[in-house]
Every structure is written in structure tokens, then in C-alpha cells.
């Protein structure tokens, strides 16, 4: 019973697709959703036949890239749910009033910070505006709300010095069936002695009986070493294949089997360490990647975004029920966001560890698994 306006920069949904692994934050998501939507989370998975319990038992698999042997398997007894972004957006949009084509330009404020009638207005490129009591910037790693709060320099992301490839692919039926049988159903990743990271993931099984329709994707990173890496030149598949010497299966065969015309777009690994911001009397805040952009190497970004949402809702309910002022509630929420942002540095360390094979066994994922920092 809290009024809202939900806006999205995109006029139509983007083609871009990826997955996130929800572990410790899965119960929080289920608690946030209307009860009738919780069973629909199964339809958000790449493989709708995979149970949460089975995924948790199989866990997150980290192999030795040179041998294929298991280095560590991080099981999660509470269960894991792999979420495909496009499916998740469609399912969770049920019942929401979403306004598209709203690219934020600026924010303006009405009233004093300590005035109970204080407002904030979001101004969009199409000339429209929305006014309310709180703006939440959940607008991704390159957040425009963050720019409005902190300015361009302080809001700018740090670009990490790794070549990065992230792309989907399909295989002929027999090869797709083989890959599905040998890879971990949620997360299957490996460091390699040559200082390289590779991750194999399932993205979709649109027809369980037709393996040729199944969609997988690869995440690959290695330290930038050449001009081609620096400029991310167009010969990306050629460069990837040139890095596969000495890799074990399933990674080696997968790259060998990729179609020569597979689309590999340009990409960068970018992060943002949160720093305290002026929330203008509780009128503006950040959540998710806008608040703490991190690499995927410890699987925390999606979980932290759900934690942000859960904490924000709790604080707004307190305000609505008169138990706390908006300023006090938002100050507490913001402190929690910044504190959770320590994971940005931990994930950065984990990214470096995936490229430091000799010392990988002392990395955060060995010490902490996939539990949240401080737990």
C-alpha cells in the first residue's frame, strides 16, 4: 500500500540476456514477492526442470582448467536458484505499472531537507517528469541517478585490466546433450595456470526434448596483454581460440565447437566502490549495481541487490507506519548499502585470484564460499 512510479530507460526490452545465482538471498526474494508469484520463480530458471534442492546439492563447481578435476565444490544446503534475466523480468513484471522510454536527465528538489512535504522530481529526456518523496536508483552499473548524486567523476566506474568475453551459443543436439551431462547445472568455472578464467553456464532450455534449441553461454577473462586486447578488436573468437592451448574439457571442446560466426560483443569488467552520498534528506538513494557494481567472480551481485530491496522495503514500512522519519530510515538504509559494498573489493580480489593460479587456494571463495561478507 505504498504508492510508486516505476520507470525504465529502455523503450523495449533489450536483447541482452544473462543469469544470476541466488543462494542466501533467495528466501528474501520469496518474502518480497506476492505469494502467487513465488511458485512462478521456477519458470525463471534456465532449466525449469531443475529443483532448488538439487541445484544446492550440486552447488557451485570450480575446476582446474588444465585438468578438468574439481578444485572445490561449494554446496549450499538451503538451495540455489539460477535466474535467467529475461524470463525473470517477464514473470516479475506481472501486476506492475511500468513506464518505458524514460531516460533520466536530472533530479530536482522541492522544500527543505527536513520538511515533511519535501519532494524530489525526476526529469526525463522525453520532457516528462515524475514527482515523489523518494527516488531509488536501481539503474545499473552506469547509474544516472548515481551521477546526479555524486557528479561524473565520483560516480565513474573503475575498469579492470582484463580482456572480457561474455556471449551465448548453441550446439548441435549431440554436443549440446553431452555438454549438459558433464557441466554443473548452475555454475561451472575454472582458473587456468596460464592466468585465465572461464565459466560455462546454461542460459535456456526452451524445449527440453530438443537439445539443439538449448542455449549456453561463456564468460572468459584474462589479463590484458596486447594491443588487440586493449582495443578489444573484432577478431574476438580468433583471440579466444588462441588462448585455449592446454585447456581441459569441457571448456576446450566447447570453444572448438563454436560456430565461426558466433556473435561476441565488446565488453569490459567495471566496478564501483560505494562511498557515502548526500541523500537530500532521505529523498534519493541507490540499490543493486547502481550502489555497488562488482564482478561476477564470487556470485554476490544479484544476492546483494535482493538484500538492498528487502532492507529498503522494511525501512519504508517503518516510515509509513509512523515508527521512523524518512530521513532516519533512509540514513540507516544507506549505511547498510555502503557496508554491503565491501563485497566490491572482495569480488575484485576474487577476480584477481582467478588469474593467479598458484595462489588460488587462498582466495576468498575458498575462505568464504558464497556466503555474504560478515556472515
CA neighbor of 299 nearest in space, from 186, 213, 218, 138: 186
Over residues 4-62, the pLDDT tens digits come to 999 999 988 777 889 999 999 999 999 999 999 999 999 999 999 999 999 999 999 99
Given this model, what pLDDT does residue 117 score?
Answer: 78
Beta bridge pairs of residue 165? 220
Question: What is the arithmetic mean of pLDDT over 98-126?
Answer: 90
Is the pLDDT at 101 greater than 90? The verdict is yes
- Cα 374 from Cα 206, distance rounded (Å): 39
pLDDT of residue 116: 67
Q: Dump pLDDT digits (tens) for 262-310.
A: 999 999 999 999 999 999 999 999 999 999 999 999 989 999 999 999 9
For 340-353, letters b (16+ CB in 10 Å) and e give bbebbebbbbbbbb
Q: Is the pLDDT of residue 115 over 70?
A: no
The count of C-alpha atoms lying within 13 angstroms of the C-alpha of 42, restricted to the half-sphere facing its C-beta, is 9
What's CA 71's distance to the chain center, in Å?
24
Q: Is the pLDDT of residue 76 over 70?
A: yes
Rounded to the nearest integer, the mean pLDDT of the chain is 94
pLDDT value, residue 161: 97
Residue 367: pLDDT band by 50, 70, 90 thresholds? confident
Q: What percent of the chain has pLDDT over 90?
A: 90
CA atoms of 39 and 26, how far apart (whole Å):
13
CB of 299 closer than 8 Å to CB of 343: no
3-state DSSP assignment of residue 294: coil
d(CA 91, CA 105) in angstroms, rounded, equals: 29
Three-class DSSP category at 219 = strand
Q: Is 363 helix (H, G, I), strand (E, B) or coil?
A: coil
Contact 290, 284 (CB under 8 A): no
Q: Are 126 and 273 in contact (CB under 8 A)?
A: no
Helices assigned H by DSSP within the chain: 26-32, 52-58, 85-92, 144-155, 173-182, 227-231, 236-242, 251-257, 301-320, 326-340, 342-354, 364-368
Q: What is d(CA 61, CA 76) in angstroms, rounded to the nearest whole number?
A: 11
pLDDT over threshold 70, residue 372: yes
**Which pLDDT does position 1 carry in this prediction?**
85
DSSP-assigned beta bridge partners for residue 6: 98
Report the DSSP pairing between strands 162-169 and 215-223. antiparallel
Report yes or no: 136 and 326 within 8 Å, Cβ to Cβ: no
pLDDT tens-place string over residues 172-230:
999 999 999 999 999 999 999 999 999 999 999 999 999 999 999 999 999 999 999 99
What's this model's pTM, rounded to 2 decimal places? 0.95
Domain ranges of the chain: 103-158+270-368
What is the predicted pLDDT for the residue at 370?
84
Instruction: State in words which class domain 103-158+270-368 has.
Output: alpha beta
Q: Stretch 132-143: mean pLDDT, rounded?
A: 96
Q: Which runs of E-coded beta strand occur in 114-268?
A: 119-124, 129-132, 135-137, 158-159, 162-169, 187-192, 196-204, 215-223
Residue with the bigger pLDDT between 183 and 369: it is: 183
Residue 162 exposure: Cα atoms within 13 Å on the Cβ side: 25
Residue 151, class by beta-carbon neighbours within 10 Å (0-12 exposed, 13-18 middle, 19+ buried)? exposed
Q: What is the pLDDT of residue 304?
A: 97
3-class SS shares of the chain: helix, strand, coil, % to 5: 35, 20, 40
Bridge partners (DSSP) of residue 120 are 109, 132
Amino acid at each position: 500500500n505504498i504508492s510508486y512510479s516505476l520507470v525504465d530507460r529502455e523503450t523495449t526490452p533489450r536483447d541482452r540476456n544473462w543469469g544470476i545465482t541466488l543462494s542466501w538471498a533467495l528466501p528474501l526474494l520469496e518474502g518480497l514477492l506476492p505469494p502467487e508469484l513465488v511458485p512462478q520463480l521456477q519458470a525463471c530458471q534456465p532449466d525449469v526442470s531443475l529443483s532448488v534442492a538439487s541445484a544446492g546439492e550440486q552447488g557451485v563447481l570450480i575446476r582446474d582448467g588444465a585438468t578438468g578435476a574439481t578444485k572445490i565444490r561449494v554446496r549450499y544446503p538451503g538451495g540455489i536458484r539460477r535466474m535467467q534475466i529475461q524470463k525473470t523480468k517477464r514473470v516479475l513484471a506481472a501486476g506492475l505499472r511500468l513506464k518505458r522510454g524514460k531516460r533520466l536527465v536530472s533530479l530536482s528538489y522541492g522544500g527543505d531537507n527536513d520538511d515533511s512535504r519535501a519532494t524530489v522530481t525526476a526529469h526525463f529526456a522525453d520532457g516528462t517528469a515524475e514527482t515523489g518523496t523518494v527516488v531509488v536508483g536501481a539503474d545499473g552499473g552506469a547509474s544516472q541517478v548515481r551521477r546526479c548524486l555524486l557528479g561524473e567523476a565520483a560516480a565513474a566506474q573503475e575498469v579492470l585490466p582484463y580482456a572480457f568475453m561474455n556471449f551465448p551459443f548453441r550446439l548441435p543436439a549431440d554436443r549440446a546433450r553431452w555438454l549438459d551431462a558433464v557441466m554443473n547445472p548452475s555454475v561451472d568455472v575454472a582458473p587456468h595456470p596460464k592466468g585465465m578464467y572461464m565459466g560455462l553456464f546454461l542460459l535456456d532450455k526452451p524445449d527440453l526434448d530438443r537439445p539443439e534449441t538449448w542455449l549456453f553461454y561463456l564468460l572468459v577473462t584474462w589479463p590484458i596483454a596486447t594491443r588487440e586486447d586493449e582495443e578489444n578488436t573484432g577478431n574476438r573468437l580468433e583471440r579466444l581460440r588462441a588462448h585455449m592451448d592446454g585447456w581441459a574439457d569441457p571448456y576446450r571442446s566447447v570453444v572448438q565447437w563454436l560456430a565461426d560466426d558466433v556473435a561476441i560483443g565488446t565488453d569490459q569488467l567495471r566496478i564501483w566502490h560505494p562511498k557515502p552520498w548526500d541523500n537530500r534528506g532521505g529523498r534519493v538513494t541507490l540499490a543493486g549495481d547502481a550502489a555497488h557494481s562488482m564482478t561476477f567472480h564470487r556470485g554476490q551481485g544479484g544476492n546483494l541487490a535482493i538484500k538492498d530491496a528487502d532492507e529498503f522495503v522494511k525501512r519504508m514500512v517503518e516510515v509509513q507506519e509512523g515508527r521512523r522519519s524518512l530521513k532516519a530510515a533512509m540514513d540507516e538504509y544507506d549505511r547498510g548499502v555502503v557496508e554491503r559494498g565491501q563485497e566490491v573489493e572482495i569480488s575484485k580480489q576474487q577476480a584477481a585470484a582467478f588469474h593467479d593460479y598458484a595462489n588460488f587456494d587462498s582466495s576468498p571463495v575458498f575462505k568464504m564460499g558464497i556466503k555474504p561478507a560478515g556472515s
